[in-house]
Chain A
Amino acid sequence: MAFLELTNLQVGYERGSSVLSDFHLTMEKGELVSLLGPSGCGKTTTLRTIAGFIEPSRGQVLINGRDYTKTPPHKRNIGLVFQSYALFPHLSVFENVAFGLRMRRVNNTDIRRRVTAALTMVDLIGFEKRLPTQLSGGQRQRVALARAVVIEPDLLLLDEPLSNLDAKLRVGMRAELHHLQRQLGITTVYVTHDQVEAMSLSDRVLVMNKGKIEQEGKPEEIFYRPATPFVARFMGFDNQFAGHVKSINDNQIEIIAGTCRMVARPHFIPNVRVGDPVDVLFRPEVAQLARAPSENAIPGEIVFRTFQGSTGEYLVRSALGEFTVALAETTPSFTPGAIYVVIAPENLIVEQHIEE
């Protein structure tokens, strides 16, 4: 049976406009699900609704079969980690972690034991007496994590926990977080706007847009087979050109874009007919560059190349627009000049063109 169930959730801040509508989510025990989306997509609202800070105008929050919809937040057994860490500034690391246990009237011996265990887990033994201001960002985040898990919550909610850390620390913390979550087996909801974070941590990802779920699935599914144009763009389909449909055969679409004839074999067939205007999308990493014309090639000109470590990024200007092409550094580099951008039919996504 599902451990966490959100059914038909609707949250409205003001009359008429709803921040969340028809939201469904079921999670198994121990699962880590990411809510991924741009700011304002409703992911934090979802989290706050689960935590009990927002009361939904419709729908239910069920945890372990029990209806929590009307339960006030302090009577739910949920661990929360905030983007700003939200440590208690006047309390030591030890007392920060102990707070939840003190609220539960755990006796002092057990508090000492459990806080020590939690601090051991996040590798902060020896820091018990420090105040939050005497800690680095990474350490603060680990205190916040220890404070949230020490109460042995039914559910762990993480709201952009890594976005205040610098890039290098973030990768390290991400791994630690992953390890910890697996080790404790806590059912976890993770809110982020960073697709890499969501991909690397999650069992499942929910991509959200304007208070609705755009796509739900395993990280691989979402990355390789985005179901909607929004998800595709969010997953790094950064290049786009316009054209119209010339023919459709089974799962193959022939498109005329300017003077080019492109063939696409997308994994989802869009709802388009012959003659319809369409947008075609592809990722920078899947395109190739060639000096000679071939099938599925767009003629253009290299404007410049930027070195990015393991890849080299080329900006190509063509009659269909500007494209970014990322090539592994092992391939010989191209000098500026006339070039063809070649994309395999499987790597093109086609969608109905929407007038903006």
Chain B
Amino acid sequence: MKRSPFLLAAFSVVFTFLLGPFLIILIASFSGDASMAFPPKGFSLQWFQKVLDVRMFRDAFWTSLQLAVASTVSALVLGTPVAYALVRFKFRGQNIVEILFSLPAIVPELVLGFGLLQYFALRMNMPIFPGLYFGHTAILFPYAVRVVSTSLRNFDPAIEEAAISLGASRLKSFLLIVMPNLRAALLAAFILAFITSFNNVSVSLFLTGPGVATLPIQMLAYMEMYFDPTIAALSSIIIVITFAIVQIAERTFGISQHI
């Protein structure tokens, strides 16, 4: 390919704005100084050590992890049959149902968060973690439906009919024939939903409360009080883990074609 100066300029702009911030955070997290600065002064691993030492980060990490796993699994368990029904059957009001199911992804998350706060916490007096769990399941559900139905649309319905004609009931053919072929799509949906939940701020902001906070909320709270590179170190850890998970999933299952 010819290297035109224009292309080079475009590349550097994209690089600066897209990857630049990550680079700065990565570098800053190894700072030897107690305040956030770029370029950092000195080199140390003390901020990584601090991340591991601070109790509230450890607690928040576990909360976020449990929340992400629980709500992602629930969204997939609920979303897969819905996706199946939407793709395989034609029924009246299908469009309306489809729009209804994608609402949580369309409504601004702040509005959704506020609504859920009103409903779960104030009206139903629900404890914090269940509230978070239902809220996250709601925002992940449309992703699950979307990813799974895209994959189902590319799955020849004749394959299912073949299984049925060979003596499998509809349920059996779904479990034995359709599900194994959705594996990559389910994994893609899982990762996408997991990351979405793990990183969510706006909905969690309304639903967290005394004693229970997700990691992003805890990070915000911490930053309001301290401005040292701990947050940068924590961010670096999250970036590296996320990147690694996505890379492994891509190499093994080629998940990008499902998103």
Contact = CB atoms under 8 A, between A and B. Distances in A.
A99 interface: yes
B165 interface: yes
Contacts of A90: 180-181
Nearest to A80: B165
A53 B180 CA distance: 23
A84 B165 contact: no
Nearest to B165: A80
B161 A151 contact: no
Q: For chain B, which range describes its interface: under 10, 10 to 19, 20 to 34, or 35 or more residues?
A: 10 to 19
Contacts of B162: 80, 82, 86-88, 144, 147
B172 interface: yes
B163 interface: yes
A92 to B, nearest CB: 13
B181 A103 contact: no
A72 B165 CA distance: 9
Contacts of A84: 156, 158
Contact of A86 (B158, B172, B181): B158
Interface in A39-93: 51, 53, 72-76, 78-80, 82-84, 86-90
B43 to A, nearest CB: 50
B49 interface: no
B165 A88 contact: no
A74 B165 contact: yes
A104 interface: yes
B166 A147 contact: yes
B159 A89 contact: yes
Contacts of A53: 161, 164
Contacts of B161: 51, 53, 73, 80, 82, 86
Interface in B148-191: 156, 158-159, 161-170, 172-173, 177, 180-181
Given A90-B180, A90-B181, A78 B159 contact: no
Which of B159, B170, B173, B181 has the most A CB atoms < 10 Å from its CB?
B159
Given A73-B165, A103-B167, A151-B166, A88 B177 contact: yes
Contact of A74 (B156, B159, B169): B169
Which of B158, B164, B166, B180 has the most A CB atoms < 10 Å from its CB?
B166
A243 interface: no
A100 interface: yes
Contact of B172 (A72, A89, A103): A103
Nearest to A75: B167
Nearest to A100: B166
A350 B62 CA distance: 85
Given A84-B158, A86-B156, A103-B172, A51 B181 contact: no
B158 A103 contact: no
A89 B173 CA distance: 13
Contacts of B156: 84, 86
A148 B172 CA distance: 18
Nearest to A89: B181
A78 B180 contact: no
A88 B162 CA distance: 9
A87 B166 contact: no
A99 B181 contact: no
Given A80-B162, A82-B162, A151 B177 contact: no
A3 B164 CA distance: 23
A86 B159 contact: yes
B165 A51 contact: yes
Which of A53, A74, A100 has the most B CB atoms < 10 Å from its CB?
A74
Contact of A103 (B159, B168, B170, B180): B168
A73 B173 CA distance: 12
A144 B159 CA distance: 11
A116 to B, nearest CB: 18
22 contacts: A73-B161, A73-B164, A73-B165, A74-B166, A76-B165, A79-B165, A80-B161, A80-B165, A86-B159, A87-B159, A88-B159, A89-B159, A89-B181, A90-B181, A99-B163, A99-B166, A100-B166, A103-B167, A103-B168, A103-B172, A104-B167, A151-B166
Given A73-B164, A74-B170, 7 more contacts: A74-B168, A78-B165, A83-B158, A88-B163, A90-B180, A103-B168, A148-B165
Interface of B: 156, 158-159, 161-170, 172-173, 177, 180-181
Interface of A: 51, 53, 72-76, 78-80, 82-84, 86-90, 99-100, 103-104, 144, 147-148, 151
Sorted nearest first, the 8 A-B pairs with minimum C-beta distance are: A103-B167, A100-B166, A86-B158, A86-B162, A80-B165, A82-B158, A90-B180, A86-B159
